[in-house]
Structure 1
Amino acid sequence: MKNPLLILAGALGLSSAVQAEPLKVGDDAPVMVVVNQDGEEVDLGNVYAEGTTLVYFYPKADTPGCTAQACSLRDAYTELTDAGVTVIGVSGDSVKSQKAFAEKYKLPFTLVSDPDSKLMEAFGVPHRLSFASRQAYLIRDGKIVWLDYKASTKQQAADALAALKDVSDGS
């Protein structure tokens, strides 16, 4: 007889990560309206139109790896913004958790609450429940120009800046 808990876990999708087709360089970046750490709506299409955007996904606010990743971007924020980059972090955390995370670590960029995983799915980011895989995307003119399916924690800013230089040199 099969274990009813295993059957239930499989039916609920708990036995493996959910994954849509991953986006690739050259693909259109998903456009949707999301909610930031202040409970305000952010239209990603408008953000993309303002210049280069770094959208990075992380599993859970205020955990060691996610904090290192966010602080890497915080510490290089001036360099990123001087290069015309808007930074947006995304996780399945609540608006309240995102706000607390941003305040605790003085994060100067937008954090998006994606508890229903719609943005994760639009980008093709694997996730288990609402815990995203760590990934990063540079978007220019609404198109993905660089991506990292295994984004670094401590090197996130350096990796994004190096990629930005590469895509700028190749333009």
Structure 2
Amino acid sequence: MPMPQAGDTAPGFQLPDQDGNSVSLSQHAGKHVVLYFYPKDDTPGCTTEACDFRDEHSALGAAGAVVLGVSADSTERHRKFATKYSLPFPLLADPGHQVLEAYGVWGEKSLYGRKFQGITRATFLIGPDGRVKQAWPKVKVSGHVAEVLAALGAKGAAPAASTPAPAKPAAPAKKPAPAKKATGTRAVKKATPAKQATARKAPAPAKKSATGKTAAKKAGRARR
């Protein structure tokens, strides 16, 4: 059968979960139901998808949605899978493929050139009125749960808002540095011209003339 589309009435069902409890679509009337079909328990893609639904289970519940997983695995395999990864929602066993066929997710598949009968990974968001609100016919695991939350108008757990850091007080204005006195080499250089000027202006001592020396000698002789 073809997959139900948005606006179609969702096919009813009644299947056992991992604990043997009977679960039906009608018992969730008035709520949103996230019905997701997956190929096989405890395989890489299916484990990632289940754990993503587990991690956002509180957000999905807060948006008024119930999560139900469905595959052709037995209730025993479902129980081991749910226990191993602490899955908080029912996993419904459909080994006879009745519900899988009703939702158009059971059929021929191809892998590495080999054809076989199997489950197409798909999700249906069923509204409180029992009609399909949105369908994802070929689910890509990465980011899928975020798409479901967006369709519900909800958001995943957001990180706590960080408190803005207080504004830093303005640094006080720096006082202008006092003018430095000229010291050292510059001062010496400035003073040197003045000293040179003084030396130049000082009169040279009078030299005794040769004539004066001769007269003194003669006077000495006369006295003798």
TM-score normalised according to structure 2 size: 0.62
Identity %: 40
Distance 1:50 1:111 in 2: 21
SS of residue matched to 1:147: strand
- Determine whether 1:118 maps to 2:105: no
Distance 1:152 1:111 in 2: 20
Distance 1:63 1:150, change over 3 A: same
Amino acid at match of 1:155: G
Which of the pair has the greater relative contact order for Cα pairs under 8 Å at 6+ separation? 1
How far does the alpha carbon of each residue in 1:51-102 deviate from its partner, in whole angstroms, 9 at most, with x for none? 0000000000000000000011001011000101100000000000011111
1:124-135 counterparts in 2 under 5 A? 124-128=104-108, 131-135=118-122
Aligned to 2:86, which of 106, 124, 138? Answer: 106
- Determine whether 1:86 maps to 2:66: yes
Q: After the TM superposition, which parts of structure 1 deviate over 3 Å for at least 4 consecutive aligned residues?
A: 126-131
The gaps in structure 2 that reach 5 residues or longer are: 109-115, 155-224
- Determine whether 1:149 maps to 2:130: no
Distance 1:106 1:127, change over 3 A: farther
TM-score normalised according to structure 1 size: 0.81
Aligned to 2:76, which of 96, 109, 113? Answer: 96
Aligned to 1:63, which of 43, 50, 53? Answer: 43
Distance 1:100 1:65, change over 3 A: same
State the shift of 1:50 in Å: 3.8
What is the aligned partner in structure 2 of residue 139 from structure 1?
126
Distance 1:158 1:126, change over 3 A: same
Count of residue correspondences: 146
Which structure has the larger Rg over C-alpha atoms? 2
SS of residue matched to 1:67: helix
SS of residue matched to 2:153: helix
Give the root-mean-square deviation of aligned CA atoms.
1.5
SS of residue matched to 1:90: strand
State the shift of 1:33 in Å: 1.3
Aligned to 2:5, which of 21, 24, 33? Answer: 24
Distance 1:131 1:102 in 2: 21
State the shift of 1:165 in Å: 1.9
What is the aligned partner in structure 1 of residue 25 from structure 2?
44
